[in-house]
Structure 1
Amino acid sequence: MKKRKKNTTMETYPLELSIIIPVYNTPLSYVRECLASIDLAQIRYCYEVIIVNDGSTDRELTNYLKDYKNERTTVIHKENSGVSASRNIGLKQAKGNFLLCLDSDDKLLPAISHAVSYLKSKTSYDILYCDLQFFGDTKYLHRKCEFSKFQLMYVSNMLTPSSTLFSKRIISEILFNENLSYSEDRDFFSRAASLGFQFKHFRYPFCLYRRIFNSQSLSQKNVGMKNEIESFIKSQFDVHTELHKKK
């Protein structure tokens, strides 16, 4: 009796990674670089890209996104409501086991595959953040420290969305605060830390973080509200309770 050959063409693989990219009037050249970097990263896992156009008024950019075709990519067009709302829309639609909110002026690096592998194998961790490789008007590598909940909540933001990969299970409990126009990432990850999700420092950068000195980078806007918003973030937590909370 002949053995039946395995039909490899019918095999399916789980969707491991969802990349959410909010876009609002980002220079088209930056968006092109961002999307090209995902292809160049040669991700070893099944992945999807969710672009959320947050009511951009740049006609060239909007037309480009309307015409953009890629079998792995979904483009969502919505009225302007801010980066947090855009990320939340993408996160809610994401099907991957791991999520990355990539800013539309940043670039992805091949090390993202190693980051996914790490979280898949080290199931005690929920959030993986990497060292920060700057490019643009300045080029240097910022080595991050090992995770400290106290530093994240009360001293300074250790994380950026583009350099932080996290498990999908987190968004069953928290999303980005859509009322914040600055440090919404610090607020999100501080609440994740308070809920007991586990963080791990990953030494290999899996993104390039654009730094431009004319304050047009997505992550450099709205700095004027910094003190007020960061005071609000800290006020959500009691330092004694957080530092003595059991993991």
Structure 2
Amino acid sequence: MPKFSVVITVYNKAPFVKETIESVLQQSIQDFEVIVVNDGSTDASDAVIKSIASEKIMYLPLAENVGAGAARNIGIKSARGLFIALLDGDDLWAPFYLAEITALINVYPEHYVFATAVHKEYKNHTRPNSYSFENPDNSPFLDLDYFTSSYKNTLLTSSSTVLHRSVCEDVGYFNEKIKSGQDTDLWIRIGLQYRIAFSTKACATYRYAPQSLYKGTRSVKDRPDYLAYLEEEKTNEELKKFIDLNRYSLILRARLWGEKSEVNTYLAHLDMNNLNSKQRFLLSLPTYALRFAFKSQSFLERAGIKLSAF
């Protein structure tokens, strides 16, 4: 039985998936299997995946697109390893990623959730993610609360997180009914029950494409239900702030999509004190100004103005 099961989900990632898989095969630690789930891709992803020769790869091509959450669940349930390492089909690992995770496991043997910092790759540049935890001693490894550490950027991502195989059995798998944001939904459930063993070394690269929210066709109703934790929020200020940041993001989306009822519902549960001045300013903008803001999303984020929770 391998120590790690690397679950890679792919949907129309032909230009990237070979580099992604090779970044796994080139790991300095080789005690792993690779499960590649092709989620009904309509491009050349299938041919690219089949061209990679490795006995470590279990290839699961799906006849139709089932969605990211369902595809990940198929991979996780097919895994034989003690630890499940997630990776999206266009992201990358440094050659020492699994070695760093192994070091985390050795330092925090009582933990079940492990992650590393990430680099975020934009169109013309790459930069390390920033987080909201404090590290005055510059410790390489930290034991962190998910919510307080994720106000700037999420501590967990679908390309830099490793779970003990019992975690999904405990908190549940990816919610397949959610069309977008399934990962955040799972991170919340994990954050309510587990501490995170975290490496401050950026060992994964997340290829970032700004979302064109002003052109979005999905409804806010297709996103995670951020009203599901109202009772927990009453006694968990950290969770409350984290979810308010996500409510802020959904309110902006709902305004652009004309979902007035959803705007009013989320505003009723939003504590403005949990937003910074820039976020409160964006909420005050008229709809036409919001559309312009989203068209300029990359520029605004470089200026420190975030249009989404992360």
**CA deviations over 1:94-144 (Å, ceiling 9, x no partner):** 111211110111011113212123124412222122222122513111132
Cα pair distance change 1:224/1:65, threshold 3 Å = same
* TM-score normalised by structure 1 residue count: 0.78
Residue identity in the other structure for 2:189: R
Q: Is the 8 A contact 1:20 1:50 kept in 2?
A: yes
Cα pair distance change 1:158/1:62, threshold 3 Å = same
For 2:224 and 2:146, the matched residues in 1 are separated by 16
Aligned counterpart for 1:117 among listed residues 96, 100, 103: 103
For 1:204 and 1:152, the matched residues in 2 are separated by 15
Q: State the SS of the aligned residue for 2:174.
A: coil
**CA deviations over 1:187-206 (Å, ceiling 9, x no partner):** 10111122x22213310122
Structure 2: segments with no counterpart, 5+ residues: 134-143, 240-310
Q: Does 1:239 align with 2:224?
A: no
Cα pair distance change 1:206/1:156, threshold 3 Å = closer
Q: Does 1:90 align with 2:75?
A: yes
Q: Does 1:106 align with 2:91?
A: yes
For 2:106 and 2:89, the matched residues in 1 are separated by 26
For 2:104 and 2:203, the matched residues in 1 are separated by 12
Cα pair distance change 1:149/1:141, threshold 3 Å = closer
Partner of 1:8: none
Cα pair distance change 1:115/1:153, threshold 3 Å = closer
Q: Is the 8 A contact 1:153 1:233 kept in 2?
A: no
Q: Does 1:205 align with 2:202?
A: yes
Q: Is the 8 A contact 1:51 1:75 kept in 2?
A: yes
Cα pair distance change 1:77/1:243, threshold 3 Å = same
Partner of 2:39: 54
Partner of 1:3: none
Partner of 1:10: none
Deviation of 1:46 (Å): 0.7
Q: Percent identity?
A: 23
For 2:209 and 2:147, the matched residues in 1 are separated by 29
For 2:147 and 2:207, the matched residues in 1 are separated by 27
Partner of 1:4: none
Cα pair distance change 1:206/1:224, threshold 3 Å = farther
Partner of 1:9: none
**CA deviations over 1:51-73 (Å, ceiling 9, x no partner):** 00111111x22233345431001
Residue identity in the other structure for 1:191: R
Q: Is the 8 A contact 1:107 1:209 kept in 2?
A: yes
For 1:167 and 1:156, the matched residues in 2 are separated by 23
For 1:81 and 1:35, the matched residues in 2 are separated by 21
Q: Is the 8 A contact 2:130 2:153 kept in 1?
A: no
Partner of 2:185: 187
Aligned counterpart for 1:172 among listed residues 169, 172, 180: 169
Structure 1: segments with no counterpart, 5+ residues: 1-13
Q: State the SS of the aligned residue for 2:73.
A: helix
Higher relative contact order (CA 8 A, sep 6+): 1
Partner of 1:25: 12
Deviation of 1:231 (Å): 6.2
| Pairwise CA RMSD | 3.0
Cα pair distance change 1:116/1:139, threshold 3 Å = same
Q: State the SS of the aligned residue for 1:205.
A: strand
Partner of 1:72: 56
Residue identity in the other structure for 1:206: C
Equivalent pairs counted in the alignment come to 223
Which moves more between the two structures, 45-54 or 111-120? Answer: 111-120
Cα pair distance change 1:150/1:61, threshold 3 Å = closer
Cα pair distance change 1:153/1:145, threshold 3 Å = closer
